Amino acid sequence: MRIIVLFISLVFLSSHSFAQDEDLSIPNITFGLKVGINSVQMKVASQSSENTQNKSGVYFGAFVNIPSSDAFSIQPEIIYSSTEYSGSNKMNFLNVPVLLTFKLSNNFTGFFGPEAQILLDIDARENKDLFNSFLLGFTFGANYKVTPNFYLEARPYFAFTKFLEDDLGYRKFNTLQIGIAYKF
């Protein structure tokens, strides 16, 4: 009989100790929009030389912030970006990063994660079939909360895959994005 009473007491105490406290609740899922500028550094390498080209463009998109605790969350995003490729030719991408975000201090938040880029369109003189239409890379950065809803952010993107590769050489690019975000 004592064992049953002890067992019931332990079950009651252990279930009570794991109960959620109102102060420990996980924050709500938030949505937001973002817009900013791209600065693309394209590395052009051939058998005889190597140089870089810097181009600029714009981006805009949306994100969902899914908190797992007060300090960490997962933030998938979908971003449309448009940048000059060469001369006045444009390249348009759909960027899909999946970020792990974490609170740093005061109003700063850091993030990092993989990013896929899907080539939507390119105005190019070269054969469009030579371009890699799916790029994979890594991004990280930080944002600063200006007001409860407005954020300033900056992030570099480093490509793992080459954008163009043929017999003459290859092209690979890295991107710096600077912009603002609004959380609903």
Residue 44 tokens read as: 């052009």
Per DSSP, the three-state class of 86 is coil
Digit-coded pLDDT (tens) for 101-110: 999 988 999 9
* CATH number of the structural domain 26-183: 2.40.160.20
Identify whether the C-beta of residue 113 lies closer than 8 Å to the C-beta of residue 99.
yes
Sorted by where each begins, the domain ranges of the chain are 26-183
Sign, CA torsion 62/68/69/72? negative
Q: Could you tell me which residues come within 8 angstroms of residue 104 by beta carbon, excluding any fewer than 6 positions away? A: 110, 142
Confidence (pTM): 0.79
Residue 98 has pLDDT above 60, yes or no: yes
- Output the average pLDDT for the chain: 85
| 139 vs 76: CA distance, rounded Å | 12
| 140 vs 111: CA distance, rounded Å | 5
